[in-house]
Chains A and B, each alone.
Chain A
């Protein structure tokens, strides 16, 4: 406690340096492997050289089939946003209901466990067959993927509301709407954010795979095209982009969650 308080400046560089060590080590290994030609991989320098032109025309549209990487990323993020948004709209009320009503919990729990246990991508053929549209099918998969963690964590949040809050609501004979607004929703928010973090993480992983399978324009299709053209350099760059975007999404939710008022210690 005191050490961090006394010398924040001295500790700061170390704090920033530590997370950089594994990537540096990996980079070294990568360079070694390519320099000694053990594996058939493009060297770090080759990949770096690719980045310039790629990011230079990130937001250009040369032809419908040649769209900048920035736009592709936006397409993918857009799909996640729509699917995830719909999952929030359905999942939060459903989770609250399951949390509050034992009957709803009894009714929905087994089905949700069932849906949860199925790989999200297994829903893709169902989506494609029933919606006849690869775009909608991808959204459908994201929706299903995001729904379960949101519902389950929201319900868990309601279940973990301290008994005292319910007693208070009972003693004051608060109307249901007040209990919902003033007690249930604020008390559930931390768990909801946990659910959102999990959902968004999985959704981002799944959209790449879904785009690879459906060929819908986006970062996933970009990966697939790079693979079909055996352009391993582009493949590596896109993997890095996907990873960094995932971290950014996670940080976004974490920042949001931090801005919420803290529980009484």
Chain B
């Protein structure tokens, strides 16, 4: 079975002297949920940009479906850290911008239904006609996520999508994301700083060494049985072992840097 996404000896430099990522070799299979953890500035976002095709590797190659990634495309949809909502469009219109571009075969009624449904999933029905400026940070993140999910991408690239959410909203959205991605078979690569979030959502957790010249430190295979939910995962015997492993890793790196 060939990997859906693949990094082969990837190195990324922004200038000759500053190496952000080096020696990255990684395979991600279809339907997998992969989480990236690591210290701030270790190149997690750069790794995501390489997958999206927004940045090109300085050496080595990133592959999608066995073909080198040379440009971005909606099948590898990104949920940006700063949401990237257009301020002059309301919630509906922001989502429609993506849906109208991608779902070209759908009738206008079908498109409206797709948008309605996803707005409901992220619980923004009351805010559908509001502009981003009228929304809280958490609501904006939800719109960004809704826009990405609405077009049912093959790969979803998430850069700390829940960082601005309060706990209650975060749990609810994590579960919605988990369910939708499993249902639609979406492959997810997500950056997070939240250990519990990593354990709840991931199939594998990839630990990146601190920069500069970050590389893959090690990979944790998440053995928690599915389906998972926020309350029950903490009861599993493997949970604390993996949690401790991650905490230790993050703490150690703090000492190094």
Contacts and interface: CB of A to CB of B under 8 A. Distances in A.
A101 interface: no
Given A182-B89, A186-B88, A171 B78 contact: yes
Interface in A152-171: 162, 164-165, 167-168, 170-171
A6 interface: no
Given A171-B74, A172-B101, A183-B86, A264 B133 contact: yes
Nearest to B81: A164
Interface in B102-132: 102, 131-132
B87 A264 contact: yes
B133 A172 contact: no
Sorting the interface of chain A by its residue count into under 10, 10 to 19, 20 to 34 or 35 or more gives: 20 to 34
B97 interface: yes
Contact of A172 (B82, B88, B97, B140): B97
A51 interface: no
Contact of B86 (A165, A167, A175, A265): A165
A204 B88 CA distance: 32
A261 interface: yes
A165 B83 CA distance: 10
B52 to A, nearest CB: 6
A172 B80 contact: no
A173 B87 contact: no
Contacts of A168: 80, 84, 86
A261 B90 CA distance: 10
B73 interface: yes
A171 B133 contact: no
Contact of B84 (A164, A173, A175, A265): A164
Contact of A173 (B74, B78, B86, B88): B74
28 contacts: A164-B84, A167-B54, A167-B84, A168-B80, A168-B84, A170-B54, A170-B71, A170-B72, A171-B73, A171-B77, A172-B98, A172-B101, A174-B101, A175-B101, A178-B101, A182-B89, A182-B97, A183-B86, A186-B86, A186-B88, A261-B131, A261-B133, A262-B87, A262-B133, A263-B87, A264-B87, A264-B133, A265-B133
Interface of B: 52-54, 71-74, 76-78, 80, 82, 84-89, 97-98, 101-102, 131-133, 140
Interface of A: 162, 164-165, 167-168, 170-175, 178, 182-183, 186, 260-265
Given A167-B78, A172-B98, A261-B87, 14 more contacts: A164-B80, A165-B86, A167-B54, A167-B84, A168-B80, A171-B73, A171-B78, A172-B77, A172-B101, A173-B72, A174-B97, A174-B101, A183-B86, A264-B85
